[in-house]
């Protein structure tokens, strides 16, 4: 087992890129955060029923859509509910989403998922991204990957989609590492900081391995438990 989170007290940068701040003294909530448990963490895609190992454009687009929702200014729970709303309405392809149109995305799809505060902006973002995917890559994310020269070019091509920042691009790419040769984004600051906090040497893991991707997902999932709070 790793040391209890309560035995370590260092503030660190969060997933949103906030600057590190030294606080004293700090209490952490406790959780089962052993290396073995983290290495068994389910992927975010698995929680949504997405099989990236299948390699099909249908499954790849589901992750594409999920990354846009998970990267928005909403909770992870609302992002998951909204993705399931898209699934219920059978809007899991760029062609179907474009055919549905903006008003349908806003209501009922996004509203049923609880995504109401930024629903208009998100509907526009998803439609414009689907238009770009259709126009430049014939609706195929596999073609997007094939068109990229290397990892950096793949990230750059993804960043060109409408309204997407580095966090959303990281969400899109990180769980693809074992299956896409050119997908290998740098782990988020919160992942590196959480690993240091738990004395987990990330450099000893092969980043393209499924074990690393599960560990990364576990550290992200537990980031709030590791966030320092004043007593």
The yes-or-no verdict on residue 25 having pLDDT over 60 is no
Query: How do the domains of the chain map onto residue ranges?
Result: 5-43+186-226, 46-174
CA distance linking residue 19 with residue 1, whole number of Å: 29
Using pLDDT thresholds of 50, 70 and 90, give the confidence band for residue 17.
very low
- Reported as a single tens digit per residue, the pLDDT across 113-136 is 998 888 999 999 999 999 999 999
Give the model's pLDDT for residue 7: 35
* Apex 66 CA angle, 65 and 72, nearest 5: 100
Rounded CA gap, 124 and 79, in Å? 16
Predicted confidence (pLDDT) at residue 12 exceeds the cutoff of 80: no
In the numeric block, the tokens 């068109």 are attached to 147
Say how far apart CA 13 and CA 99 lie, in whole Å: 41
**Measured distance between the N- and C-terminal CA atoms of the chain, rounded to whole angstroms:** 25
Measured CA distances, 220 to 9, 14, 24, 69, 229 (Å) = 18, 10, 24, 16, 17
Give pLDDT tens digits for 172-192. Answer: 999 999 999 999 999 999 999
Domain 46-174 of CATH type 1.10.340.30: yes
Is the pLDDT reported for residue 13 higher than 90? Answer: no
Q: Which residue has the higher pLDDT, 18 or 156?
A: 156
Separation of alpha carbons 215 and 40, rounded Å: 7
Share of the chain above pLDDT 70, in %: 84
pTM of the predicted model as reported, rounded to 2 decimal places: 0.83
Residue 149's pLDDT band (boundaries 50, 70, 90)? very high
């Amino acid at each position: 087992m790793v040391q209890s989170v309560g035995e370590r007290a260092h503030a660190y940068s969060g997933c949103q890129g906030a600057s590190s701040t030294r606080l004293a003294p700090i209490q952490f909530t406790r959780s089962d955060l052993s290396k073995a448990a983290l290495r068994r963490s389910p992927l975010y895609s698995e929680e949504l029923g997405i099989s990236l190992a299948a390699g099909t454009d249908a499954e790849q687009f589901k992750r594409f859509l999920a990354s846009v929702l998970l990267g928005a200014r909403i909770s992870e729970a609302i992002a998951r509910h909204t993705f399931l709303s898209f699934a219920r309405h059978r809007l899991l392809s760029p062609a179907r989403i474009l055919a549905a149109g903006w008003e349908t995305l806003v209501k009922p799809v996004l509203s049923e998922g609880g995504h109401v505060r930024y629903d208009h902006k998100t509907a526009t973002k998803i439609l414009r991204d689907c238009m770009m995917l259709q126009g430049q890559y014939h609706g195929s994310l596999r073609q997007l990957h094939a068109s990229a020269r290397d990892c950096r070019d793949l990230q750059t091509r993804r960043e060109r989609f409408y309204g997407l920042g580095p966090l959303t691009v990281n969400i899109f790419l990180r769980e693809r590492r074992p299956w896409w040769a050119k997908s290998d984004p740098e782990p988020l600051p919160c992942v590196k900081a959480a690993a240091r906090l738990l004395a987990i040497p990330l450099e000893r893991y092969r980043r393209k391995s499924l074990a690393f991707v599960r560990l990364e997902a576990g550290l992200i999932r537990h980031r709030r438990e590791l966030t320092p709070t004043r007593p």
